[in-house]
Amino acid sequence: MSTITIVLLVILAVLIIATVVLYIFGKKAEKRQAEQQKQLEAVAQSVSMLIIDKKYVKFKEAGFPSAVLENTPKYLRRSKVPVVKAKIGPKIMNLMCDAKIYPSIPLKKEVKASVSGIYITHVKGLRGPLDAPEKKKKGFLARFRKQ
């Protein structure tokens, strides 16, 4: 056998082993995520709130309690998270939001939300349906192509 075929076989073996290892880690992470999702749903409370503001902010600058910051992994502290500032009763709170429902949260409106700790998992309109998110304006070329 030539050295090229040996090198290619070794590379192929390493790729196969890496694929198997990633598959196993992926399955474990998937199970862990499903377990955490069940826990979030178990402790969820339905709360009516007035949405004041929403934005993507770095985790450290979001204004969460120090206990939350300490329990967060270090690699996530620098990432940006969707944060919603809401008035719940007489209290104004900063809450973290699920990235999937973030675009559907209306500003300056009262909503009924499912909250798990400081995490908003589900939102629905308190008085009628939620407004559809604003559509972006079409660019010049998109309008021109339509005609």
Residue pLDDT, tens place only, 81-121: 999 999 998 999 999 998 899 998 988 889 999 998 889 98
Average pLDDT along the chain: 88
- CA–CA dist 124, 131 (Å, integer): 10
Q: Give residue 25's pLDDT band: very low, low, confident or very high (50, 70, 90).
A: very high
Look at residue 135 in the predicted model and tell me its pLDDT.
Answer: 63
Residue 50 has pLDDT above 60, yes or no: yes
- Across residues 3-12, what is the average pLDDT? 95
The overall pTM is greater than 0.85: no
- Of the pLDDT bands very low, low, confident and very high (cuts 50, 70, 90), residue 19 is very high
Residue 91 CA to residue 118 CA, distance in Å, equals 13
Which residues make Cβ contacts (< 8 Å) with residue 127, sequence separation at least 6?
A: 110
Q: Report residue 131's pLDDT band, with 50, 70 and 90 as the boundaries.
A: low
Q: Which long-range contacts (CB under 8 A, 24 or more apart) does 61-69 make?
A: 62/94, 62/96, 63/94, 64/94, 64/96, 64/118, 68/118
Beta strand 119-125 with 45-58 is unpaired
Whole-number pLDDT of residue 132: 54
Q: Is the pLDDT of residue 133 over 60?
A: no
Q: What are the distances in angstroms from CA 13 to CA 4, 5, 21, 24, 60?
A: 14, 12, 12, 17, 43
- pLDDT at residue 41, as a whole number: 86
